[in-house]
Amino acid sequence: MAGSTVTKHKPSKAKKYMLVRYGRMRQLGLFEHNQADVPKTPERVVVKTERGLELGEIVGQFGCYKSGQFKLGCEQIEEYYKYNSVKYSCKAAGEFQRYATAEDVREAKHLQRIADDEMAVCRRFVKEMDLPMKIVGAEHIFGGERVIFYFLADRRVDFRELVKRLAREYQSRIEMRQVGVRDEARLLGDMETCGQECCCMRFLKVLKPVNMRMAKLQKATLDPAKIGGYCGRLKCCLRYEDKTYNELRRRLPPKNAMVKSAAGTGRVMDSQIITQLVLIQKEDGSRFVAGVEDIEILSSGTDGAEPEAGIAEMNELEDTEDEAPPR
């Protein structure tokens, strides 16, 4: 009896993904590809999404890829979005088509000029139809399949007739997307007071609310010109260090707490978050400064610190507020 032949199945290779930023709203997505490697220089690519062909740029070329595979796992990506309270799926956003050519780049610039003209026409239609909306941006998808208009509105708007007029005008699929004021800055913004492009334009994907508590904790000025961004809301950069500031603050003893150090025992009069230094007053009225790691808390006091000048009137602004103070 002849021996049975065992058929060995060749294991399938793991799918490779690259992280790409694409679209007018600077969306991020993982795209499947079969390239042997990913360039370590800035590179534009053509990808296929559910909206059609789009031009994008590879993210994380420096150290984030190994043999063409994006090294960050799904868990790490989801952890970032979890921290920002945003639901995110690691499902691929589409497929890589090719590295962009000079012709692709020229075509993208041409389509953007067309989109500017389309936006002007859309604004004219909105004015003629007296619709309560403000057109702030337009995007002509690279593959030519559709045109997307972005608008601001205080309430829901019935734009069905507007879409019909635009579809007849351009013989393309029309989409209307309602956005907020921070998204408007992403579409229209340019340079911020720091001298850099608006973060929402360059890299910031999640526009989570920013509140006055963060400015107070970081001892930021309350000058509206300095803490208000292009969008008129509090600057997103106030959130960047908020987690670290909170962690450092929790290490400090509360005001009026009794503490002990090598220099003596006394009551906490003040403290500095960044330097982690504590100002202590002895019973005889003399004061000295000690590092938080050099003191022992004997009894917790009550944080009776008076609000800083100019901040007291802001105390009613809680975590849900992200408006800059009025000018």
Instruction: Specify the residue for token string 């994907």.
Output: 205
pLDDT in the model for residue 252 = 92
pLDDT in the model for residue 211 = 84
- Which CATH number describes the domain made up of 255-299? 2.30.30.140
pLDDT in the model for residue 213 = 86
Q: Mean pLDDT in each 10-residue stretch from start to end of the chain (327 residues)?
A: 42 70 84 84 89 88 74 68 61 89 92 92 95 93 88 92 94 90 76 81 74 83 78 84 90 91 91 91 91 88 44 33 45
CB 205, CB 28: distance < 8 Å? yes
- Residue type present at position 179: V
The dihedral through the CA atoms of 265, 268, 270, 274 has a sign that is positive
Residue 247, phi then psi, degrees to nearest 5:
-65, -40
User: Which tokens belong to 294?
Assistant: 């050099």
How far apart are the C-alpha atoms of 287 and 129, rounded to whole Å? 71
Q: Which long-range contacts (CB under 8 A, 24 or more apart) does 191-197 make?
A: 192/229, 192/230, 192/235, 193/225, 193/226, 194/237
pLDDT in the model for residue 84 = 57
**Is the whole model's pTM more than 0.85, yes or no?**
no
281: closest CA among 307, 254, 259, 301? 259
Largest Cα–Cα separation, the chain = 104
254: closest CA among 291, 299, 214? 299
Structural domain boundaries of the chain? Answer: 16-100, 104-183, 209-252+308-327, 255-299
pLDDT in the model for residue 183 = 79
| 130 to 32, 57, 234: CA distances (angstroms) | 45, 38, 32
Fold classification of 104-183 is: GMP Synthetase; Chain A, domain 3 (3.30.300)
Residue 147, phi then psi, degrees to nearest 5:
-120, 130
